[in-house]
Amino acid sequence: MDFAQGGELFFLLREEGQLSEKTVKFYVAQIVLALEHLHSLGIVYRDLKPENILLDDDGNILLTDFGLAKMVLQTNSFCGTPDYIPPEIIENKKYTRTDNRRQLGILIYELLVGHTPFFHHNVHKMFRAIRTKPFRRNHYLSEAAFDFISKLLVKDPSKRLGHSEEDARPIKEHRFFKDVNWKKIMQKEIKPPLEVHVQSLRYFDKKSLVKDLARLIKRVFGSR
């Protein structure tokens, strides 16, 4: 994989606190296209979150860490990041790509608001909230964003936006994306909203970089 100069979307979010709807819409549009491509190959990604989204040299997104991805039509494996796990996984039910739809809704909410909608320090209480609590509107959400996220977070996966064979089409047609030119997004003809600072470690995990560098040095010079 090529070096992603822009670092992690997670550290960008941590520094900014929350992102504007315009910025989020750009990144999410690219993610929708990435997931659509994976689904066309029969791959369920299963671990969508800010830590697994990188920014390239130009500021476009890259999905990374396919450790939980699976080529399958249906599965019931219990996996994922707690905040992003949908009700059907907690209840040990079979699920498909609708898992990605739910994660997409959680991601949009976190980017716009700064935290996930059902977060709790106690994982058991958080799982209970994911299963039982209704999704409520935060004052940072526009009407279109709230409606879009609500339809992605529907607890019944068979009623979730994007669950049908049409896959991403109803998602792309939602009014949240009314001003998005999908062809230009696909061709990367739209300038990313945030500028990547070349030769900057601004959006990198510094501790991980030090560990990776130490491993590289050991690999190169350890046998000498």
Instruction: Provide the annotated active-site residues.
Output: 47
Confirm if 23 and 112 have CB atoms less than 8 A apart.
no
Strands (E), 18-100: 43-44, 53-55, 61-63, 70-71
- The CA–CA distances, whole Å, from 57 to 63, 148, 183, 198 equal 14, 30, 21, 7
Backbone torsions φ then ψ of 70, nearest 5 degrees: -145, 135
Confirm if 8 and 26 have CB atoms less than 8 A apart.
no
CA distance 38 to 175: 24
